[in-house]
């Protein structure tokens, strides 16, 4: 057997497993140097692991001199292991400290970090993104991404309880689903292909066999503008269901918001220092029709014509806050697969879920009849031939179906009170950024 770098050295405890009751226990802890202070004969070092902080106190006479000297020479971010004995201590905020008897430095940092590891805010987001893996050690971001992980777990649990099947659809596709402008073209062997801007057509097809499906996966949009709410690569929580309409989907979304909120609240209860601004969940999420909001806007003096989009600036002017739905949008601008309303063919069976002026989700009842779908595509100037791979499915009993896509990053922004979508994305991609 070859000798490994780490050998038999392993962590015995995470920070969360240590307290004054472990007084006298021999432990090995591992993590990153957070702070180093020393006055002559004593050095204080804090190391941080994935759960929290561990105080190390090296005093002359208490631990070997070379360990004390090594500790006091360390720079923040160095990754180390300390073996030693736990000592209960009233002076320490965590109620204990570790007296080191052995140290192992895995990688010693020589550079001065571009920001303090403890900093709550670092103004320039680009400075942070350049060293994203280090930025992600900061407590604010740890909280956001750990809460995000729990939100995802509870959403998956919800889908499982409700008998949905988790699907994965191709991200390399032949044709645009929602109009071509926002697509990224790629080389696919000797052909042109695109990165999928949504799983739309595939998830619809899969309702023919699985009825209730969901996918949590990237969508790609060549967004031309620089905003705090658009990424070039985002994660979409898509759901699609057979034999239901858009009203059922709105009910599901309300459930999903409820369980996501409770996942975040649970996280905060367990981590009371978290600084999220968590929204309140209304008993029922209010629903406004597009027409009603246009009327409100006209009354508020906004210049708007029926059929226009309801822009964030205009939504602000009528003071809508928290979660609400805007439903029954004009059919014209909606994608070809959205069903028109029976009572008024100018309207569609569609909705957006909003949080203030931020769109979190769009959903609709979809068309299940081939001729209706083809008609809509032709009206939009689309070539139906290129979609035969999709249209062909409609010859074999497509059920009535409805669904939606929820932007995960935007949902997390709403649930934690985060302003910039880049802060809720591990490695954001936008018009200016392709690294790290």
- Report the interface residues with ligand ATP, using CB under 6 A: 178, 221, 223, 230-231, 234, 236, 359-362, 405, 407, 409-410
Count how many residues are written for the chain. 436
98 token code pair: 């570790």
Q: What are phi and psi of 129, to 5 degrees?
A: -65, -30
Nearer to ligand ATP, 368 or 409 (CB): 409
Measured between alpha carbons, how far is 137 from 32 in angstroms, rounded to an integer?
10
- Residue 322's SS3 state is coil
Beta strands in 257-407 (DSSP E): 287-289, 323-327, 350-355, 358-366, 401-407
Task: Answer with the entry of ligand ATP, Mg ion, none that 410 interacts with (C-beta below 5 to 8 A by kind).
Answer: ligand ATP
* Helix pair 408-416, 139-161: axis angle to 10 deg: 120
H or E segment to which residue 56 belongs: strand 53-59
Task: Answer with the entry of ligand ATP, Mg ion, none that 361 interacts with (C-beta below 5 to 8 A by kind).
Answer: ligand ATP
Nearer to Mg ion, 15 or 362 (CB): 362
Nearer to ligand ATP, 178 or 372 (CB): 178
Q: Where does this chain bind Mg ion (CB under 5 A)?
A: 362
Task: Answer with the entry of ligand ATP, Mg ion, none that 223 interacts with (C-beta below 5 to 8 A by kind).
Answer: ligand ATP
CB of 405 to Mg ion, least distance (A): 8
Nearer to Mg ion, 391 or 404 (CB): 404
Indicate the residue whose CB is closest to Mg ion.
362
Nearer to ligand ATP, 139 or 410 (CB): 410
Indicate the residue whose CB is closest to ligand ATP.
407
Measured between alpha carbons, how far is 245 from 88 in angstroms, rounded to an integer?
62
Task: Answer with the entry of ligand ATP, Mg ion, none that 18 interacts with (C-beta below 5 to 8 A by kind).
Answer: none
Measured between alpha carbons, how far is 272 from 276 in angstroms, rounded to an integer?
10
Nearer to ligand ATP, 76 or 363 (CB): 363
Task: Answer with the entry of ligand ATP, Mg ion, none that 117 interacts with (C-beta below 5 to 8 A by kind).
Answer: none
The angle at the Cα of 206, spanning 201 to 208, to the nearest 5 degrees, equals 110
Helix locations, 162-272, DSSP H? 200-206, 246-270
Task: Answer with the entry of ligand ATP, Mg ion, none that 330 interacts with (C-beta below 5 to 8 A by kind).
Answer: none
């Amino acid at each position: 057997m070859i000798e490994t770098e780490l050998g038999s050295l392993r962590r015995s405890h995470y920070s969360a497993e240590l307290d004054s009751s472990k007084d006298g226990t021999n432990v090995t802890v591992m993590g990153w140097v957070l702070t180093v202070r020393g006055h002559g004969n004593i050095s204080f070092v804090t190391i941080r692991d994935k759960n929290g902080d561990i105080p190390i106190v090296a005093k002359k006479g208490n631990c070997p001199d070379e360990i004390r000297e090594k500790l006091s020479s360390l720079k923040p971010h160095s990754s180390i292991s300390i073996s030693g004995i736990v000592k209960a201590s009233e002076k320490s905020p965590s109620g204990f400290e570790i007296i080191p008897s052995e140290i192992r430095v895995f990688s010693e940092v020589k550079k001065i970090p571009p920001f303090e590891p403890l900093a709550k805010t670092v103004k320039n987001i680009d400075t942070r993104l350049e060293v994203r893996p280090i930025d992600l050690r900061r407590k604010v971001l740890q909280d956001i991404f750990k809460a995000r992980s729990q939100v995802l777990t509870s959403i998956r649990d919800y889908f499982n309880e409700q008998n949905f099947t988790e699907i994965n659809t191709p991200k390399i596709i032949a044709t645009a689903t929602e109009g071509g402008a926002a697509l990224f073209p790629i080389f696919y062997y000797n052909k042109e292909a695109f990165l999928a801007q949504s799983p739309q057509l595939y998830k619809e097809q899969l309702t023919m066999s699985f009825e209730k499906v969901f996918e949590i996966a990237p969508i790609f949009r060549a967004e031309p503008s620089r905003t705090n709410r658009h990424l070039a690569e985002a994660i979409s929580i898509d759901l699609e269901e057979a034999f239901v309409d858009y009203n059922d989907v709105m009910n599901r979304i309300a459930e999903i918001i409820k369980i996501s909120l409770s996942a975040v609240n649970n996280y905060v209860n367990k981590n009371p220092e978290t600084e999220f601004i968590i929204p309140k969940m209304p008993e029922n999420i209010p629903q406004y029709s597009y027409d009603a909001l246009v009327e409100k806007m006209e009354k508020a003096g906004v210049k708007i014509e029926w059929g226009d989009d309801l822009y964030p600036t205009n939504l602000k002017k009528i003071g809508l806050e928290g979660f609400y739905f805007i439903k029954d949008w004009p059919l014209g601008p909606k994608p070809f697969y959205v069903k028109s309303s029976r009572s008024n063919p100018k309207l569609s069976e569609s909705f957006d879920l909003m949080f203030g002026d931020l769109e979190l989700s769009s959903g609709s009842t979809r068309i299940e009849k081939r001729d209706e779908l083809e008609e809509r595509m032709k009206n939009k100037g689309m070539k139906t031939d290129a979609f035969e791979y999709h249209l062909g499915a409609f010859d074999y009993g497509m059920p009535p179906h409805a669904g939606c896509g929820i932007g995960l990053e935007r949902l997390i922004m709403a649930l934690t009170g985060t302003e910039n979508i880049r802060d809720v994305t591990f490695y954001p991609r936008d018009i200016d950024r392709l690294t790290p």
